[in-house]
Amino acid sequence: MPPCDLAEKGWQSSVPKQLMSAPQKPYDKSYFDKWYRNARYRVSTPARTARKVALAVTVAEYYLEHPVRTVLDVGCGEGQWFGALKRLRPGIRYTGVDPSEYAVRRFGGRRNLRAGGFGNLDGLGLASAYDLIVCSDVLYYVPQRELEQGLRALTLRMGGIAFLEAYATDAPLVGDMHLMQKRSAGFYKRLFRKHGLVSCGPHCYVGAPLARTVTALERGGID
CATH, range 4-213:
3.40.50.150
70-74 and 93-98 as β-strands: parallel, antiparallel, unpaired? Answer: parallel
Instruction: Determine contact, residues 140/5, Cβ cutoff 8 Å.
Output: no
Strands (E), 31-145: 70-74, 93-98, 113-115, 130-135
Phi, psi of 208 (to 5 degrees): -55, -40
DSSP structure string for 161-205: EEEE----SSS-EEE--TT-----HHHHHHHHHHTT-EEEETTEE
Domain boundaries, the chain: 4-213
Torsion of CA 173, 178, 184, 185, to 10 degrees: -70
pTM of this prediction?
0.86
Render each residue's pLDDT in the chain as its tens digit; 223 residues: 334 443 333 323 333 444 444 445 568 898 788 878 888 877 778 999 999 999 999 999 999 999 999 999 999 999 999 999 999 999 999 999 999 999 999 999 999 999 999 989 999 999 999 999 999 988 888 888 899 999 999 999 999 999 999 888 776 654 445 577 788 889 999 999 999 999 999 999 999 889 999 998 888 755 4
